[in-house]
Amino acid sequence: MRPVWHHIALALWAAICLRAYGQEGEVTHKAVEDTFVQKKLPDRNNAKLKTIIVDGGDKKMGDKGYAVIFLKFRLDGGSPIWTKLRMKVNTGGHSQSSDAGRIHLVTGNWDEKTVTYANQPEIGREIGQMGKVEQGETIERKLDVDLAGIKELSLAIVPSNNDGAVFLSKDSGTPPELVVFYGTYAVVNNGPLKLPFTEGSRGLVAISRKGKRVGTLGSAVAQFERKGIGYKGAGVGIAEASVVKRVAVKVNEPQRCVIDVTVARTESVEMGRRFEATYEFTIYAGQEWFESKLLSVTNTDDVAYELRGHSYPLQPDAEAKPWCFPVESVAGWIGSNSILGAMVRGGGDVTLGLRLVDETPDGDLTQRLRARLAPGETWSGEGRGVIVFAGEGEEPRVMVRQSRKIREILQSPDRYVTGTILLTERKGGADGPGQE
C-alpha cells in the first residue's frame, strides 16, 4: 500500500499539469486598426476617416488614384477551422465595384496613425478575393490562412482593376470584422507520447514519441455498392475519412484519459460514399501505447451501401525499411527502427496487412464487418479494442516482450500505471494543439 503523501503529491502534480481553456464556435474579432494609403498623396495619413478606399487608379491601373486598404485584428490564438473577412460597403457615390481586389497578408509592421503610401509595409501572399460588391452590402469572404497560435493578423486589400470600392471603417461604427470558427481540440501528453486530437484536422491523430513525430493513425471503411464496378467488378472500395468533426473528453483522470473522436468523409464517389465514424481512445499515463475502439459508423450519404469492414491506416514517419510479423497469434506490428504499430486485443476477426508504396510503409489494421446501411442509418457494435504503440525496438523479440507487457496490464484488475497524464483541452484559445 502506498503512503498517503504519495497520493497527495500525485494529486497536486495532476492539478498543476491539467489545463482547460476555451472558446468554441463562431467568434467575431473587430478591427483594431484600419486605414488606406493613396499614391497621389504619398505622405498623407488617412487614420480616423469613416470610409476606406481600394482603387487601381483614376483612369488606368497604377496611376495616381491607386489606393490600398490595411486592416489589423487581434486574436486569441488557437487552431481555427475556418476564417472569413466581413466588411460593409458604403452607400452613396460610386462605392460598388465589379471586382474590389485581392486580400493579402501583410508581412511588415505598420500603425494606422503613421502609415502612408510612402512608408507602407511589405505585402505578402494572396489569401482571398473580394470579387463583386454592391452599395450597402455586407460582404463575407473566406480566407485561406492558418491562424494557429497567431495573436495579431494584418491584411491588405490590393486593387485588381481601376473600378474602386469604398467600405466603412471602424470610425463609422461598423468596423471590418474577422469571423473565426474555433473547434475543440485536446492534446494528451502521457509522458512518452503526445497525441493531439484536433477538430478540422485530417486523420484521427498524429503520434509523437519523446518529441519526435513517428506516425499517423487514420480511419477507413470498406463499402460494397453493386456488382460490376471497381476492381474485377467486385463492387467494393475503401473510403477514407477526410476530417475530424468532433472531439469530446469523457474521462480526465491523472492516470487515465478517455476521448471520443468523430471523423467524416465529405466527398461522394462510387464505392467511396460519405460516412461518419466515432472512436473511443483510452490513454494511460507513462505508456508508449494507447487503446482505440470503433463505436459506430453512420451512412451520411444519399446512397445506400453495405459496410464490409473497417480499418486503421497506419502510416509511420520513418525512412528505414519496415517489417511486419504476427506475435502469439493475437498481435502484429508494422514499423521500423522507431516503431509505430498495433496489437489486436483478442484476435479473431481482426487482421494486420502491410503495403509498401515507393518504399513508404503503409499498414492497415482491418476488422471485418457486415451491415447494410441505408442513408442516415448507423452501425454500432462492440468494436474490438486495438492497441497502437510507438516504442523502441529493432528485433522481433523486443516486440514480443512489449506484447506480453501490454496484455498483462490490460488483463490486470488495476490498469493504472506509474506516471501522470498532461491533458491540454481547448476549444480555441492561446497555444494551439501542436498538430505536427
| DSSP annotation of 233 | G
Q: Are residues 36 and 145 in the same domain?
A: yes
Q: What is the largest CA-CA distance in the chain?
A: 87
Q: Are residues 210 and 240 in the same domain?
A: yes
Cβ within 8 Å of residue 319, ≥6 positions away: 336
Grid coordinates belonging to 307: 459496410
pLDDT (tens digit, 9 = 90+) per residue, 170-183? 999 999 999 987 77
The number of beta carbons lying within 10 Å of the beta carbon of residue 369 is 18
Which 3-state string (H, E, C) describes 169-192? Answer: CHHHCCCCEEEEEECCEEEEECCC
Q: How far apart are CA 371 and CA 378, in angstroms?
A: 9
pLDDT (tens digit, 9 = 90+) per residue, 19-67? 333 445 678 999 999 999 999 999 999 999 999 999 999 999 999 999 9
Q: Are residues 144 and 225 in the same domain?
A: no
Q: Give domain status of residue 23, yes or no.
A: no
Q: Are residues 271 and 405 in the same domain?
A: yes
Handedness of CA 184, 425, 338, 402 (dihedral sign): negative
Task: Find the length of the chain.
Answer: 436
Among 121-135, 242-256, 413-427, the range scoring the smallest mean pLDDT is: 413-427
Q: How far apart are CA 265 and CA 254, in angstroms?
A: 34
Q: For the residues 206-219, what does the mean pLDDT come to?
A: 77
Q: Give domain status of residue 18, yes or no.
A: no
Q: Give domain status of residue 108, yes or no.
A: yes
Relative to beta strand 19-20, strand 422-426 is parallel
Q: Which domain holds residue 120?
A: 29-182
Which of 127-131, 278-282, 420-424, 427-431 reaches the highest mean pLDDT? 127-131
**Mean pLDDT, the chain, whole residue set:** 75
From the list 148, 247, 209, the residue with the least C-alpha distance to 339 is 209
Q: For the residues 140-156, what does the mean pLDDT come to?
A: 88
Handedness of CA 91, 94, 96, 101 (dihedral sign): negative
Grid coordinates belonging to 122: 511589405
Q: Are residues 347 and 242 in the same domain?
A: yes
Q: How far is CA 389 from CA 113, 164, 195, 406, 412, in A?
A: 55, 58, 12, 10, 19
Q: Give domain status of residue 434, yes or no.
A: no
Grid coordinates belonging to 344: 489486436
pTM of the model: 0.56
pLDDT (tens digit, 9 = 90+) per residue, 213-269? 777 788 888 899 888 777 777 778 888 898 888 888 888 887 888 899 999 999 999
